[in-house]
Structure 1
Amino acid sequence: MARKLLGKVAIVTASTDGIGFAIARRLGQDGAKVMISSRKQENVDHAVQTLKKEHLDVEGVVCHVGKTSDRTNLVEKTVERFGGIDILVSNAAVNPYFGPMMKIKEDAWDKIFDINVKATFLLCQETVPHIIKRGSGSIVLVSSIAGYVPLSLLGPYGVSKTALFGLAKAMVPELAQSKIRVNVLAPGIIKTKFSEALWKNEGAYKMALQQIPLGRMAEPEECAGTVSFLASDDSSYITGETILVTGGMTARL
């Protein structure tokens, strides 16, 4: 590995499995000190132990991003343990509703936007002052192909992911003055627990593959290198952009 993030400190939310875990591992492999977080202590402990066995400099803390006290604790513990923050990867998201968009209840709609959009912004807001102290830094928001192309029965989730494109664009002019870059990762169909309804059902799996020119679903690790690139000086002149990791799926707003 190039160790291009040596000396950097990163926070990655929802990073005990799937895409988040793969990102945390890659940032660590590339030299960053990484604070892992998740809603359950046992998941945090397992992820931290796994990565420490790989000789990566990681710590972990429980964080439900929808809770103000948890977000504050995540930031404070990172600064306390590692001395500052250079990189924020906002990966946490929920989808409590699966079905026709017009039948969603208000509480489910609110939960999707509270976690996927509002909490993402508030965590950025709380992290930015610490990144400014370091002189420069990078924020990566994890969106989805669903933000471009609404997936069947996942309409509200897709709208929340579209909102992240707008959130990043809106933050760019202000944060650029502080040398903080803001970019977005939009994964396609990645083989994770979240998408298992697609790849565990043979019919759904075949239909999904028909949409992917590369003819296969991606592994979480195939998103991680892109985030490491966006977090590093290799992308020092890139901000306000969305990088799609979709195997060639067509996407446009």
Structure 2
Amino acid sequence: MKNIIIMGCGQGIGFATAKILSENNNVIGISRTHNPELEKLNIEFHQLDILNGNLDDINFPEVVDGLVYAPGSINLKPFNRLTEDDFKNDFEINVLGAVKCIQKLLPNLKKSESASIVLFSSVAAKLGMPFHASISTSKNAVEGLTKSLAAEFSAQKIRVNAIAPSLTDTHLASQLLSTPEKREASGKRHPLQRVGNAEEMAKITEFLLSADSSWITGQIIGIDGGMGSIKL
């Protein structure tokens, strides 16, 4: 049984991942929000703000086989309305939070025979999309971090990959999908004519943590209904 750490397990993709992985793994979930549904899962849960909390307060397993960093942000504004703090906040939650967690758990990951780290980017890092300046900036940093760490950690056989979703039906995107009309319009922007869901992202995460992906590292995997690759 593998020891898997999921940062941001309270809702959305992180929660869906915890739900799937808890069936066959020892899962430690960390989130600043407490979702009552977590109590139904077989996981060890800690309520902690990853940016401001102290990870030393958690007794992590000596060996960590998988780390999933799922916190994120959707901050869509015209560029002239974005503040310096907007850019800082998006960078902190998407990049510096991941750095903090990886640095804390790196000694534990090194002790695994098949460690894997999964981060999250966005289709907006690949495509130029209006109103995405802040989120695109931070997610491009996530992709750079993914590739750099994949190269650096390869000597320890630690794999590092990132998933780059398009719009996914989660709490984070609730305002963008708040009416049937918005949902339909969002779906039509994708070649496959719909938005994604958290379970799809969770299953790809499960794959990237498994032995089935043992020859995959340094990859940015677009799970985006074709938006990042094709145009109809």
- TM-score normalised to structure 1 length: 0.84
Are 2:48 and 1:63 equivalent residues in the alignment?
Answer: yes
- Please give the secondary structure, in 1, of the residue aligned with 2:217: coil
After superposition, residues 121-200 of structure 1 pair within 5 angstroms as 121-200=99-178
* C-alpha contact (below 8 Å) 1:14/1:91 kept by paired residues: yes
Query: Runs of 4+ in structure 1 displaced over 4 angstroms?
Result: none
Q: 1:33 to 1:249 in 2, by over 3 A?
A: same
Q: 1:151: Cα distance to partner?
A: 4.0
**Structure 1 unaligned runs (5+)?**
1-6
1:17-57 per-position Cα deviation (integer Å, ceiling 9, x unaligned)? 1111011111122x1111111113x43xx243121xxxx3x
1:78 equivalent in structure 2: 60
CA 1:32–1:151 in structure 2 vs 1: closer, same or farther (change >3 Å)? farther
**Distance in 2 (alpha carbons) for counterparts of 1:33 and 1:251:** 36
Q: Which residue of 2 aligns with 1:89?
A: 68
Give unmatched runs, 5+ long, in structure 2.
Answer: none
Q: Which structure is higher in helix share?
A: 1
Structure 1 CA distance for aligned equivalents of residues 229 and 91 of structure 2: 22
Partners of 1:170 and 1:107 lie apart in 2 by 26
RMSD, matched Cα: 1.9
Please give the per-residue CA displacement for 1:111-165, whole angstroms capped at 9, x wherever unaligned.
1111211121121111111011223300000112122224432320121111111
Corresponding position: 1:33 with 2:15: no
Residue deviations 1:162-184 (CA, integer Å, cap 9, x gap): 11110011111211111100000
Offset at residue 203 of structure 1 (A): 4.3
Q: CA deviation at 1:98?
A: 3.4
User: Which residue among 32, 38, 52 is the counterpart of 1:48?
Assistant: 38
Distance 1:202 1:102 in 2: 30
Secondary structure of the corresponding residue to residue 78 of structure 1? coil
Q: Select the residue among 6, 14, 18 that pairs with 2:12.
A: 18
Moved more, 98-107 or 224-233: 98-107
Distance in 2 (CA, whole Å) between partners of 1:77 and 1:251 is 42
Distance apart, 1:220 and its partner CA = 0.8
> 1:17·1:47 contact (CA, 8 Å) conserved in 2?
no
Q: Secondary structure at the match of 2:67?
A: strand
Matches of 1:49 and 1:206 in 2, distance apart?
34
Whichever residue aligns with residue 17 of structure 1, its letter is Q
Q: TM-score, normalised by structure 2?
A: 0.91
Give the AA of the match of 2:177: W
Count of residue pairs brought into register by the alignment: 230
Aligned partner of residue 226 in structure 2, secondary structure: coil
